[in-house]
Chains A and B, each alone.
Chain A
Amino acid sequence: MTNRPTSRRTVLECMAWAGAAAVWSFSGGVPRARLLGSPAHAEEASFSFAQISDSHIGFAKDANMDVPGTLQAAITQLGQLPHHPSMVLHTGDVSHLSKPAQFDTAAQIIGAGKFDIHYVPGEHDMLEDNGRPFIERFQAREKPGVAGGACYSFDQNGVHFIGLNNVTDLKAGGLGMIGEAQLKWLAGDLAGRADSQPIVVFAHIPLWTVYAPWGWGTEDGERALALLRRFGSVTVLNGHIHQVLQKVEGNVAFYSARSTAFPQPAPGAAPSPGPMKVDAGKLRGVLGIREVTVIAGQAALAVADATLAG
């Protein structure tokens, strides 16, 4: 991989084709991009993980009559990556309606992949009993940061991972919400950590305001970001909006992921958000998985999105 600084124009060009299988890397807030599968990727990779999102098990409408099938395809594709992911992050909306049978199906399909997997909830997962069924089932392995709050952190290969819940206790007219208890926990969780430690935050709803009229943002996301700004490498991964979007702000890079179930319109491109129907032959081209690689010896992560169309 070259260390040549990238011009703003190049970055914008890269963003234009980010929907293709592109690898993003960044250091100190400057992103670089190249095509997936270039040799540097294979030689320098020391640790990689994957992200899947919005599997919506239980959904069966025109936009996708077989969401278990496309989730299965995503898991199969993860298993075929040249570098087996050290772990997988699921950024929520595992189910469509928080039903036990939906959780069962998701757990069965995802579990068959035998990945080390960490989940954060989407709003569709927390519809019953304040989200307890989801937390007990999918976060049993985690040490909760706050009681019942569905947030936690852990270290892997020198990277600090923070899973946040920004889908409960939402207020009328508002956006996603992290809440006081989690923010207090986050401040304590980050205290004492070296600025040089790479941080990966994963949550369902974007922490940055993508499009407020559709609620695509987090009310108090800025308060979380204020705690993260001193770190040299911060990567924020989310789902919820079912499409790849990226933004870099200082040392913080935001990446929104595709769904494994159905696409949603681009912000403002339709009267409302929600499942978007595409031709059956094109569906897998708008669903996808994400691979993230931590490069040995540098505070740079590479983010590669691939569709289920292969």
Chain B
Amino acid sequence: MRARLARRTVLAAAALLLPRAVRAGDAAVAIKDFAFDPATLTVPAGTKVVWTNRDDTPHKLASNAQPPLFVSDALDSDDAWPMVFDKPGTYGYFCTLHPHMQGAVIVT
């Protein structure tokens, strides 16, 4: 009983860390050295993708489509931003501050 309670507490503590923490089933993209890692990510439909900025400078994401299908907040260092991809397709995106930074999410 005590062990179960302890485990619940741990889970609750982990949940408090959201959205920074990436849960099982989610996919993570790190933004590091002005690049997306991985640059191309393949995930099943319904996956939540979480980008986390590991640089000392802000980044901001936008999809390549015009008008953009998604635009993130401005992400300061260690900020994370989630996006759930429900429909299959290829979603190219870039950093609106540093447009040479490009990535893609392929949803199957």
Contacts and interface: CB of A to CB of B under 8 A. Distances in A.
B100 A214 contact: yes
Contact of A123 (B34, B64, B97): B97
Contacts of A127: 58, 60, 74, 97
Contacts of A124: 58, 97
A250 B19 CA distance: 53
B34 A172 contact: no
A139 to B, nearest CB: 20
Contacts of A271: 33
Interface in B71-108: 74, 76-77, 92-94, 96-100, 102
Interface string A94-133: 0011100000000000000000000000011001100000
B72 to A, nearest CB: 11
A124 B38 CA distance: 25
| Best-buried of A62, A170, A172, A173 by chain B (most CB within 10 Å) | A172
B57 interface: yes
A28 interface: no
A214 B35 CA distance: 11
15 contacts: A62-B56, A96-B58, A98-B74, A127-B58, A127-B74, A171-B99, A172-B93, A173-B94, A175-B100, A214-B34, A271-B33, A272-B35, A272-B55, A273-B34, A274-B34
User: How many A residues touch the partner, as a band?
Assistant: 20 to 34
Q: Is the interface of B mostly helix, strand, loop or mixed?
A: loop
Given A173-B94, A173-B100, A174-B99, A274 B55 contact: yes
Given A173-B99, A215-B100, A63 B56 contact: yes
Interface in B51-76: 55-58, 60, 64, 74, 76
B62 to A, nearest CB: 8
User: How many B residues touch the partner, as a band?
Assistant: 20 to 34
Contacts of A61: 56, 77
Nearest to A276: B56
Given A128-B74, A170-B97, 13 more contacts: A61-B77, A62-B56, A97-B74, A97-B76, A171-B99, A172-B94, A173-B94, A173-B100, A214-B34, A272-B33, A272-B35, A274-B56, A275-B57
Given A98-B74, A272-B33, A272-B35, A170 B58 contact: no
Contacts of A212: 100
A83 to B, nearest CB: 35
Contacts of B55: 272, 274
Contacts of B77: 61
B17 to A, nearest CB: 22
Nearest to B76: A97
A172 B99 contact: yes
Contacts of A63: 56
Contacts of B102: 172-173
A80 B97 CA distance: 35
A215 B58 CA distance: 15
Contacts of A97: 58, 74, 76
A257 to B, nearest CB: 18
Contacts of B34: 214, 272-274
A96 B76 CA distance: 9
B63 to A, nearest CB: 9
A123 to B, nearest CB: 5
A213 interface: yes
A170 B99 contact: yes
In order of increasing CB-CB distance, the 5 nearest A-B pairs are A172-B94, A272-B34, A272-B33, A215-B100, A170-B99
